[in-house]
Amino acid sequence: MNSISVDELAALGREASILDVREDDEYAEARVPGAKSVPLSRLEASLGELPPRRPVYVMCASGGRSAKATAFLAGQGFDAVNVLGGITEWYRSGHPVDFGPQGLR
């Protein structure tokens, strides 16, 4: 399984396509700016919303759900990359996080 650290992902900049597979309430509480929310429970039904020809960086709270999602997406032909440590590590490393429901799509 392809994996990336939060620092490596941050270095890619805003052009990186980040997929957050946590549940809606978790995403509303805190999220990486620009990350797309598709809960793991709805991932299979949402495949058409994902970019088919570019890497998708998959994130959850700490890495468990994103590993499952990454394996599933890779099996569907996506260039999926697991984000090690999830948003917890992202925050601990000092990268920007949006808090609260403001700006939700």
Indicate yes or no: pTM above 0.75: yes
- Domain harbouring 43, CATH code: 3.40.250.10
What type of residue is 103? G
- Residue 105 DSSP symbol: -
User: Is residue 87 one of the residues assigned to a domain?
Assistant: yes
| Residue-number span of the structural domain to which 29 is assigned | 3-99
Please check whether residue 95 is in contact with residue 11, taking contact to mean a CB–CB distance below 8 angstroms. Answer: no
Instruction: Encode pLDDT of 11-68 as tens digits.
Output: 999 889 999 999 999 999 999 999 999 999 999 999 999 988 899 999 999 999 999 9
User: Is residue 105 one of the residues assigned to a domain?
Assistant: no
Give long-range contacts, CB 8 A cutoff, 24+ apart: 8-16.
9/57, 9/83, 9/90, 10/90, 10/93, 10/95, 12/57, 16/55, 16/57
